[in-house]
Amino acid sequence: MTSHQRAALISVSDKTGLVDIAKFLQSEGFVLLSTKGTGSFLSEHGVTVTSIEEYTGQKEFLDGRVKTLHPRIHGGLLARRDSEAHMRQLLEAETLAIDVALVNLYPFLEAFNSKESKTEPEMVELIDIGGPTMIRAAAKNFSSVYPVIDPSDYPRLQEILRAE
């Protein structure tokens, strides 16, 4: 893409293939930014990540309802790489331009259709806010950011990045 420090944002419920793609991204020189649960999983598998909390300086709050809704995350996803003004603003704000967004959503439908009954409050907590917001931000900036939602697309992402 460009000569800036490459960064990948990782926040997933479905961890299928995650360790392999994260290790690949690291081998390609990406800084990995991750939410707490995903970061713990990756750390347990020997992958070094920077937590969203550390990166933004903002702890998760409202019982984890707010994790990624932060200008350093969305600025990094939305900044147009062809805009000197955008890139200057990222630099001034010490914000990474995020090139890859590995994001998938809380398993709301699976929980709803599950034989295990869930209470209404449990179901409400499975309504994802940050995930769709990150996906839409990455998609809006598709010329600079690879939004990857389905783990079956990880091999294609590797092909694309190897070809760059």
Query: Structural domain boundaries of the chain?
Result: 7-163
Can you give the pLDDT at residue 61? 84
Q: Are 50 and 25 in contact (CB under 8 A)?
A: no
Q: Which pLDDT tens digit goes with each residue over 41-76?
A: 999 999 999 999 999 988 888 877 777 888 899 999
pLDDT at 2 over 50: no
pTM of the model: 0.87
CA distance linking residue 75 with residue 155, whole number of Å = 27
Can you give the pLDDT at residue 139? 94
- For residue 147, the surrounding DSSP H or E stretch is strand 146-148
Can you give the pLDDT at residue 110? 74
pLDDT at 161 over 80: yes
Q: What does the angle CA 53 – CA 54 – CA 60 come to, to the nearest 5 degrees?
A: 15
pLDDT at 157 over 60: yes
Q: Are 62 and 79 in contact (CB under 8 A)?
A: no
Q: Which pLDDT tens digit goes with each residue over 80-138?
A: 999 999 999 999 999 999 999 999 987 767 766 676 777 878 777 777 778 889 999 99
Residue in this structure with the two tokens 């990045």, named with its chain if needed: 161
Residue in this structure with the two tokens 């209404």, named with its chain if needed: 120
Can you give the pLDDT at residue 148? 96
- DSSP bridge partners of 66: 61
Averaged pLDDT, 30-42:
94
Q: Are 148 and 157 in contact (CB under 8 A)?
A: yes
- DSSP bridge partners of 146: 100
Averaged pLDDT, 21-29:
96
Mean pLDDT, the chain, as a whole number?
Answer: 88
In this structure, CATH architecture of domain 7-163:
3-Layer(aba) Sandwich (3.40)
